């Protein structure tokens, strides 16, 4: 039995009638940029997140970038984040002209270690981007405390955490800005690039609406310098159909994670759900005991038809593109350990029980 890492066509087929109707509704209406679908989705998804406002944008990267601009981050400033994230977290910081500064993460949840933030801060630090990696939030209470103490804006990178919770509050509702990606394979995914910023601050909401649309509120009257960072009507219509299924899909992911946890042999370190948090398993990040074992397991599974991925093989401070930051191996040992030993097993709502069994069986067979 082959098990793909993801299969987006399965989800489309299950929703085909409703999805086709939503897409054709936009085509028939003939308004493709900033219309009723985007506006409705902004209300629906911000209500889902528990924020007062939300702004549909072009991607998760754009959500982070525009949030940093709205927070007043300027060239020469510094922004603290985790080194073991998708590269766009750092791209957004450099797009704003700022410098990414890293704080190492915790072994138990792979997320930023709140105790390392203060030591990474300088006079130039303006913001913190806690990343809710793999679908579990960072430890937000101490992150917010240190941000408050140091006077820093908090831009949550919730790009992998649609519906995740921390003390019963949704990811994206803690910081000044909650940034989401709707990259197709996300727990809530569009059929192209799309993103979102959730905020409860009315002034920041207004600013984001302008920033994403050439800095204008009224057409051709540009109050600030902005960009084209808009979500489009077709993607918004698609996301409105899918949002209704998000909780049910997350529940399926959580169920599959439970099956893995029950059956995987104890040579594998399972991803832990920290008490008080709801992990929505965007990624099922298992860990092996060392790098050679991880690579051998990946190869073993591949040869037997099970696709896996590594999130992420090289932490950002060791990427060639970020050599100018002058960081080296050993600077963030926990994040580097994750990069050496992490292996992501398939997890998505359409994964059948037989496929799930085939995955854990083959992992156990390897050991």
Ligand X SMILES: Cc1ncc(COP(=O)(O)O)c(C=O)c1O
Q: What are the residues binding ligand X (CB under 6 A)?
A: 59-61, 85-86, 88-89, 131, 157, 159-160, 181, 183, 193, 195
Structure tokens at 283: 């990624």
Q: How far is the CB of 319 from ligand X (least distance, A)?
A: 15
Rounded to 5 degrees, φ, ψ at 152 are -105, 145
Query: Taking a C-beta distance cutoff of 8 angstroms, is the pair 281, 257 a contact?
Result: yes
Helix (H, G, I), strand (E, B) or coil at 21: helix
Can you tell me whether residue 177 is helix, strand or coil?
Answer: strand
Q: Which two tokens stand for residue 59?
A: 């991607």
Q: How far is CA 236 from the centre of its chain?
A: 18
Q: Which residue is nearest to ligand X (CB)?
A: 60
Of 93 and 268, the one with the shorter C-beta distance to ligand X is 93
Q: How far is the CB of 247 from ligand X (least distance, A)?
A: 20
Gap between the Cα atoms of 253 and 279, Å rounded: 9
Least distance (Å) from ligand X to the CB of residue 327?
19
Q: How far is the CB of 165 from ligand X (least distance, A)?
A: 17
Report the nearest approach of ligand X to the CB of residue 123 (Å). 27
Q: What is the largest CA-CA distance in the chain?
A: 65
- The SS3 of residue 8 is helix
Residue whose CB is less far from ligand X, 193 or 293: 193
Paired residues of 78 in beta bridges: 99, 125
In the complex with ligand X, the residue whose CB is nearer, 57 or 268, is: 57
Closest to ligand X by CB, 116 vs 162, is: 162
Residue closer to ligand X (CB basis): 51 or 59? 59
């Amino acid at each position: 039995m082959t098990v793909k890492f993801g299969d987006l066509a399965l989800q489309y087929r299950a929703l085909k009638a409703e999805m086709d109707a939503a897409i054709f509704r936009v085509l028939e209406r003939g308004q493709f940029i900033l219309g009723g679908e985007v506006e409705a989705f902004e209300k629906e998804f911000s209500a889902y997140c528990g924020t007062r406002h939300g702004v549909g944008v072009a991607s998760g990267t754009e959500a982070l970038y525009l949030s940093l601009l709205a927070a007043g981050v300027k060239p020469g400033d510094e922004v603290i984040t985790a080194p073991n994230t998708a590269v766009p977290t750092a791209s957004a910081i450099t797009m704003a002209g700022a410098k990414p500064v890293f704080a190492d993460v915790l072994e138990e949840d792979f997320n930023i270690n709140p105790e390392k933030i203060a030591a990474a801060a300088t006079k130039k630090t303006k913001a913190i981007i806690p990343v809710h990696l793999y679908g579990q939030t960072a430890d937000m209470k101490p992150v917010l405390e240190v941000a408050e103490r140091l006077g820093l804006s908090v831009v949550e990178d919730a790009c992998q955490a649609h519906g995740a919770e921390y003390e019963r509050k949704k990811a994206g509702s803690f910081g000044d800005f909650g940034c989401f990606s709707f990259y197709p394979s996300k727990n809530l995914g569009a059929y192209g690039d799309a993103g979102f910023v959730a905020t409860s601050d009315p002034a920041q909401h207004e600013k984001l609406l302008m920033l994403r649309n050439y800095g204008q509120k009224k057409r051709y009257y540009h109050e600030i310098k902005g960009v084209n960072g808009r979500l489009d009507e077709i993607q918004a219509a698609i996301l409105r159909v899918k949002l209704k299924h998000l909780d049910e899909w997350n529940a399926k992911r959580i169920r599959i994670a439970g099956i893995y946890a029950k059956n995987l042999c104890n040579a594998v370190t399972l991803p832990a759900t920290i008490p008080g948090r709801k992990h929505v398993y965007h990624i099922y990040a298992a860990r092996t005991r060392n790098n050679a074992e991880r690579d051998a397991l990946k190869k073993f599974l591949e040869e037997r038809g099970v696709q896996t991925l590594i999130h992420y093989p090289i932490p950002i401070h060791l990427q060639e593109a970020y050599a100018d930051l002058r960081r080296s191996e050993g600077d963030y040992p926990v994040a580097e350990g994750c990069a050496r030993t992490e292996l992501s097993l398939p997890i998505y709502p359409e994964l059948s029980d037989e496929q799930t069994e085939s995955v854990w069986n083959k992992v156990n067979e390897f050991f």
